[in-house]
Amino acid sequence: MTPTTLAAPPVTSADPGPTPGRPLRELASLPGPRGLPLLGNALQIDPPRFHLQVEQWCREFGPYFKLRMGRFTVLVVGDHEAVATVLRDRPDGFRRTIKLELIGAEMGLQPGVFGANGEVWRRQRRMVMAGFDPAHVKGYFPSMQRVASRLEGRWRKAAARSADIDLQADLMRYTVDTIAGLAFGAEVNTLESDQDVIQQHLDKIFPSLYKRILAPVPIWRWVRSAADRQLERSITEVNAAVAGFIAQARERLQADPALREHPRNLLEAMIVAADQPDSGIDDRQVAGNVMTMLLAGEDTTANTIAWMIHLLWRNPQALARARDEVRRVTGDAAELTLEQMAQLEYIEACAHETMRLKPVAPQMPLQALRDTAIGDVRVPAGTVVINLLRRDSVSEAHVPRADAFEPERWLSEGGPAQQANAARRLSMPFGAGPRICPGRYLALLEMKMAMATLLGRFDIETVDTPDGQPAQERLSFTMTPVGLRLRVRQRAA
């Protein structure tokens, strides 16, 4: 099911598309929720639950339906084959939305690989991918060991006090410290500080960006609230920290010219690339990618680990198997090793199953760069297309026992090959195609390190939510669990 030219609409077994001689459907003819005159569906959108709303509408109206946002008509696509092909048709056929780019610039965010498009994206992508390949990440592993040790120390203190742990806050500290060390060579130690740390400022950026993208009226342009002023201060603080990372990296490069041939981290590699004649990369783009790595590296990985801990707690047999694997593999070693991480196959399966059920990006809005067709729907250039990344991966029509948390489905023991591969084909937590997440290898390694630290060093006493029920999903650019509290006791020797 491939976006293509209007003369040749795609045909697949999942969606046969139009019959010969039958015209493509127009956006205006698609079903969708009833809206208001002029405003359309804009006032129906509940931003924290928007992903749940569109998934429910997809069940009501089918895998292709429309939303009207003021004078614009948005296409929502829930068929996994169509979604995968849209994602693969980047950067030539689809781009990040213009609204994302404009609001990000308005907030004072520098352009990075996440929001870049076209040739600018291609140049930045090559630069970023070189820093995140597995060989480089292996070289960063001693830094990851230090951060994991700090996480253990923080949780050991909480265990000694029988204190609840704010799970997401601690995990975001863990991921900020990790990405700052690996990508920038900066020792950002938020895990051992309760002061005004950079993580507290980073936490405000994605939710504010998301809220403004969905706002029917840009009130902040005329009336600045206290939250708007705090956002401005936070972006100023983060931009200052980014400038500091860049200045420190330039000082290292100047002091040791050999680093230009063998940079030790992503930031040094980016600066070397930017300094090449005709590189097409300037300091704004370097700064934008530092910001991108901080934001994306903090939020997405931390939330996935939090979801994984929650799902394991609610599935005791899986928790017992994960704990036993960690303790068998790591033993009483003082430090976790890269070789041990490679042996944590069940923990990695738990990560993949978590991302199938609770992807931090359950949907991805893109914008068509040319007239095209998706399925049997004509898509004019400029149309925003919301791609639902979770819809089919939690559907009984595609995945056996789709609602169940079964990490075994990611292992060879998961059943017949056809069933075992179903989740792999449908789950796209890192995206797909040329713009697949460059940090996916690092993210999986961070997840395994955090889970090995938790299950190898501690026993879990409780994982609670404010109402004692399964954690609610809240979308604030990424999908987060609401209010998870963890209590642990130190494992007996």
Q: What average pLDDT does the segment 147-176 reach?
A: 93
The β-bridge relationship of strands 372-374 and 165-166 is unpaired
At residue 113, does pLDDT exceed 70? no
pLDDT confidence tier of residue 203, bands split at 50, 70 and 90: confident
Q: Which domain holds residue 403?
A: 27-486
Q: Cα–Cα distance between 99 and 270 in angstroms, integer? A: 27
Q: What percent of the chain has pLDDT over 70?
A: 86
Output the average pLDDT for the chain. 85
Q: What average pLDDT does the segment 217-224 reach?
A: 91
Q: Cα–Cα distance between 250 and 265 in angstroms, integer? A: 12
Q: Tell me, what's the pLDDT at 320?
A: 97
Q: Tell me, what's the pLDDT at 455?
A: 97
Q: What average pLDDT does the segment 67-82 reach?
A: 94
Q: Tell me, what's the pLDDT at 82?
A: 94
- Answer whether residue 218 is part of any domain: yes
Q: Lowest-confidence range among 306-310, 316-320, 322-326, 444-448?
A: 444-448
Dump pLDDT digits (tens) for 2-40: 333 333 333 333 343 444 556 899 999 999 999 999 889
At residue 196, does pLDDT exceed 70? no
- Answer whether residue 118 is part of any domain: yes
The β-bridge relationship of strands 64-69 and 72-77 is antiparallel
175/118: higher pLDDT = 175
At residue 420, does pLDDT exceed 60? no
At residue 198, does pLDDT exceed 80? no
Is residue 166 helix, strand or coil? strand
Nearest Cα residue to 171 out of 24, 308, 56, 285: 308
DSSP-assigned letters across all residues of 380-392: -TT-EEEEESSTG
Is residue 432 helix, strand or coil? coil
- Answer whether residue 14 is part of any domain: no
Nearest Cα residue to 113 out of 183, 22, 203: 183
At residue 47, does pLDDT exceed 50? yes
Q: Cα–Cα distance between 395 and 407 in angstroms, integer? A: 17
Q: What average pLDDT does the segment 271-297 reach?
A: 77
Residue 247 neighbours by CB under 8 Å, 6+ apart: none
- Answer whether residue 51 is part of any domain: yes
The token pair that represents 108 in the structure block: 């004072």
Q: Tell me, what's the pLDDT at 130?
A: 61
- Answer whether residue 334 is part of any domain: yes
- Answer whether residue 13 is part of any domain: no
17/209: higher pLDDT = 209
Dump pLDDT digits (tens) for 468-479: 888 999 998 889
Cβ neighbours, 10 Å, residue 250 = 15
DSSP-assigned letters across all residues of 333-376: -SS--HHHHHH-HHHHHHHHHHHHHS-S-SEEEEEESS-EEETT
pLDDT confidence tier of residue 326, bands split at 50, 70 and 90: very high
Q: What average pLDDT does the segment 332-355 reach?
A: 92
Give how many domains the chain has, as a whole number: 1
Which CATH number do you get for residue 205? 1.10.630.10
- Answer whether residue 7 is part of any domain: no
Q: Tell me, what's the pLDDT at 315?
A: 97
Q: Tell me, what's the pLDDT at 110?
A: 75
Nearest Cα residue to 488 out of 450, 455, 466: 455
At residue 384, does pLDDT exceed 90? yes
Q: What percent of the chain has pLDDT over 90?
A: 50
Q: Tell me, what's the pLDDT at 12?
A: 34
- Answer whether residue 491 is part of any domain: no
Dump pLDDT digits (tens) for 401-410: 999 999 999 9
Q: What average pLDDT does the segment 340-347 reach?
A: 95
Q: Tell me, what's the pLDDT at 479?
A: 93
